[in-house]
A and B are shown apart, each in its own frame.
Chain A
Amino acid sequence: MRLNLKIWRQENARAKGGMVDYELDDISEDMSFLEMLDVLNEKLNAADEEPIAFDHDCREGICGSCGLMINGQAHGPEVTTTCQLHMRSFKDGETITIEPWRADAFPVLKDLVVDRTAFDRMIQAGGFISVNTGSAPDAHATPVPKENADRAFDTATCIACGACVAACPNASASLFLGAKITHLGELPQGQAERHERVLGMVSQHDHEGFGGCTNIGECASACPKGIPLDVISQLNKDLRTALRHAPS
């Protein structure tokens, strides 16, 4: 395949970025999208031009490192991670626009690499169950109904790639938050800190500069792990309950 690429280049967080055009030939449809970028980078390197920086690691769709806006869509035209997107999803001669995630809370560090540490800070604000090592009761002491365990699992599959934020017109991280609130809220172990958790995480979310949720649903449709939109309803419900019970 032959491709015309328009790629965001930006020297560092302070520099002004811009789109740069590249042409690429001999791309096999069996390549993953990132392998296509590898080929481009080898070509740039050979021409003494600095390769394009992009985040990636496991290339198995699970670590959540990779994430590009491809033709304006988070992770591109298929519902998957960028590393599991293959060139057979594109046409010979196509023009492909590649940009980093777009959100104030995800500042660009270089080219296509953004800073997603805001997600970690939201977890620090309550996205856990407080249990010290060595003091846990026997695992069978707390049965969990299968429906709750399955729902917890379905929402625990979030890989924190940030596609939900990138896809949202308001750059809201509500789907990410809702996934964690639901995961821990479905389990008996997660009840003790339920109110504190949602208050802490939402407060940190707003502090980081993510936008509010207006129920457009772009987040869920872009999510490579199929986190359902109704986790946001759960988030709002928990938040209302917690606010009612919060000490004034």
Chain B
Amino acid sequence: MTEVTLPAGTRNGSGDAAEYFLEGEPLTDAKAPSGPIEMRWTNRQFDSRLVNPANRRKLSVIIVGTGLAGASAAATMGEAGYAVKAFFYQDSPRRAHSIAAQGGINAAKNYKGDGDSVHRLFYDTVKGGDYRSRESNVHRLAEVSVNIIDQCVAQGVPFAREYGGLLDNRSFGGVQVSRTFYARGQTGQQLLIGAYQALERQVGAGTVATYARHEMLELVVVDGKARGIIARDMVTGEIETHLADVVVLASGGYGNVFYLSTNAMGCNVTASWRAHRKGAYMANPCYTQIHPTCIPVSGEHQSKLTLMSESLRNDGRIWVPKNREDRDKDPRDIAEEDRDYYLERIYPSFGNLVPRDIASRAAKYQCDAEKGVGPGGLGVYLDFADAIERMGRKTVESKYGNLFDMYARITGEDPYATPMRIYPAVHYVMGGLWVDYDLQSTIPGLFVTGEANFSDHGANRLGASALMQGLADGYFVLPNTIRDYLADGPFEKVDEEHPAVVEARESVESRISRFLSVKGTRSVDSYHRELGQIMWDYCGMERTEEGLNKAIGLIRDLRTDFWENVKVLGSAESINQSLEKAGRVADFLELGELMCIDALNRRESCGGHFRAESQTEDGEALRQDDDYAYVAAWEFAGGDHDLGKPVLHKENLVYEFVEMKQRSYK
């Protein structure tokens, strides 16, 4: 294990996770301007230094990931005249997983005149994040939301329109105003295609170079600054060095640590994790959003979970049989009095529309009490029988037809005839690399945007806010803040023979040959599945001190076994999907442990994160604001395949503009 020099003031950890970590100096400056919150972003943009157009083309930017955050950033930086290189593991930037987002994107346009405003969007988002996000960042997000819609419409994004030709809105996720813009059930796709087209326009203009089927495997840090990446060309296997003046990670979230999730199969943590190992702090890694309305697992072969839009809860009623023996019955034969509409019973004022975390946990409790339905007993009914009777089948078809068809295709059942079955699944992560107000990580010159950073969502992302953040960061925030950093240029030239570059490249090469030389007996996928099960069981919807301690032990054993027993066939000189997965799973095996340590340390319930030790008398999530109103930013202090004792740096969250309140949905 490599010894690292710990900063002054480091002491042993405390609380449940005491033996697993050290505590370092707090993070006291997140660089947000002070003063009235509505002026902070305006002031920051003005204070951010300018770079003259002639100098911009001499400055180079690497962007990793081309989803909403990465593609929009690459397009905007390219337009501005910087020399941009964009990397992505898919064959086209248009395939990034932002494409799968269905519901919509929020903006404080107040087009409906229903009392919406920037301040209200800000307030709702801070509250929806369970008071674990930063006020300054969230306010900025609400401010630029307005510009995002303008930008996307100008690009030709076909948002839903009314007959008068103006944009339509709907309400989403329990919000009381209609501020969600949408393009049927494919908002993410349409927004991404807008950003993708803007990006391809710059490729055509020669300001952006794209690198398809390239995976970042290491960050190059020279004299304490991020100066490039080591990437593998996934077709030829060539290990390439790309150097630049600044590096932007827009590499998405790490929900695939759970193996089964709504994330695309290739979503991974490698770019972030490699940067974390080089000194970037990882913040709130245990914050995971669980989505309540997914199609349940049908068998052991399952590779992926599919989300059903949350809008189904507007008209569907959720229930389980009151009697365990009715679980295998045809649901239509279960009498009304033998059904438990548990959400309507426990939460009479919100009913089936309670927030995602509450709906998810309630479903889990029913299944834990052996009342779940379908294969493995992991499902609850989402029943449209009443809605069909009330509105008629035609109306239900016009509102939800595409979702019903999708359900029928995947399950082979007809949801018009029998109730759908749903179960919660991992959907989004709110943790990620720590960034300051400028989206800069703890490594100077390394910026992090979109789901890859931690900054805006707190403990519980609201619906229609992730798309907003991705595009806010890429189109509007980063291009303004990164400018200030680039104004320090020209930067000292680094060449490929610099010892730090050589070291990074060699570590990638030796890691790849290590994967190929273990020649063990277990497939990479089998490790990933096992890790996912541990994470879901112990670091999923409900966490306990005992479970998390157990999980840490299990993950450590699994990681040791991985490096002794994994089997990766084929060569490094061609497309080798097992090799690609091996690298990602190796990083997940380290991240998973840090997530458990973070969850163990945070002995409070907030958002989708429920610590059984912190609940109210009637079993609801209980925040502990006095002890945990902070961002947990973890510094890597481990060795080769070992986390060591990570160092916790706390950033206290201060609420000047929104009062912290306990949430109640009864």
Tell me which residues across on chain B come within 8 A of A63, comparing CB atoms. 90, 95-97, 99-100, 264
Tell me which residues across on chain B come within 8 A of A62, comparing CB atoms. 99-100, 186, 189
**Closest B residue to A15 using CB positions:** B574
**Closest B residue to A185 using CB positions:** B156
Query: How far apart are A124's CB and chain B's nearest CB, in angstroms?
Result: 4
Instruction: Please determine whether A139 and B150 come into contact, CB atoms closer than 8 angstroms.
Output: yes
A50 CB contact (under 8 Å) in B302, B410, B570: B570
Tell me which residues across on chain B come within 8 A of A88, comparing CB atoms. 412
Instruction: Please determine whether B166 and A143 come into contact, CB atoms closer than 8 angstroms.
Output: yes
B92 within 8 A of A: yes
**Closest A residue to B184 using CB positions:** A153
Tell me which residues across on chain A come within 8 A of B266, comparing CB atoms. 57
Instruction: Please determine whether A157 and B186 come into contact, CB atoms closer than 8 angstroms.
Output: yes
Tell me which residues across on chain B come within 8 A of A159, comparing CB atoms. 189
**Could you say which of A25-33, A68-76, A210-218, A232-240 contacts chain B?**
A25-33
B163 within 8 A of A: yes
Instruction: Please determine whether A136 and B525 come into contact, CB atoms closer than 8 angstroms.
Output: no
A139 CB contact (under 8 Å) in B109, B302, B526: B109
Q: A128-B200, A183-B156 are in contact. Are A59 and B303 (CB under 8 A)?
A: yes
A149 within 8 A of B: yes
Tell me which residues across on chain B come within 8 A of A12, comparing CB atoms. 574-575
Tell me which residues across on chain A come within 8 A of B475, comparing CB atoms. 133-134
A51 within 8 A of B: yes
Tell me which residues across on chain B come within 8 A of A150, comparing CB atoms. 161
Instruction: Please determine whether B97 and A57 come into contact, CB atoms closer than 8 angstroms.
Output: yes
Tell me which residues across on chain B come within 8 A of A49, comparing CB atoms. 569
**Closest B residue to A180 using CB positions:** B197
A150 to B166, CA, bound (A): 13
A102 within 8 A of B: no
Tell me which residues across on chain A come within 8 A of B93, comparing CB atoms. 120
Instruction: Please determine whether A156 and B190 come into contact, CB atoms closer than 8 angstroms.
Output: yes
Instruction: List CB contacts (< 8 Å) of B157-212 with chain A.
Output: 158-167, 183-184, 186, 189-190, 193, 196-198, 200-201, 203-204, 210, 212
Interface size on B, residues (CB 8 A): 81
A sample of 6 cross-chain residue pairs with beta-carbon separation below 8 angstroms, ordered by A number, consists of: A31-B301, A55-B91, A57-B264, A58-B97, A58-B265, A117-B92
Annotate A152-187 by CB proximity to B: 1 below 8 A, 0 otherwise. 110011011000000000000000000000011001
Instruction: Please determine whether B197 and A128 come into contact, CB atoms closer than 8 angstroms.
Output: yes
- Most interface-central of A59, A62, A150 (chain B CB within 10 A): A62
Q: A50-B569, A149-B160, A160-B92 are in contact. Are A123 and B200 (CB under 8 A)?
A: yes
A199 within 8 A of B: no
**Closest B residue to A58 using CB positions:** B264
A146 within 8 A of B: yes
A117 to B298, CA, bound (A): 35
Q: A117-B212, A146-B163, A157-B186 are in contact. Are A189 and B156 (CB under 8 A)?
A: yes
Tell me which residues across on chain A come within 8 A of B356, comparing CB atoms. none
Instruction: Please determine whether A48 and B569 come into contact, CB atoms closer than 8 angstroms.
Output: yes
Tell me which residues across on chain A come within 8 A of B479, comparing CB atoms. 133
B241 within 8 A of A: no
Instruction: List CB contacts (< 8 Å) of B565-603 with chain A.
Output: 567, 569-570, 574-578
Tell me which residues across on chain A come within 8 A of B183, comparing CB atoms. 153, 156
A62 to B75, CA, bound (A): 23
Tell me which residues across on chain A come within 8 A of B151, comparing CB atoms. 131, 133-134, 136
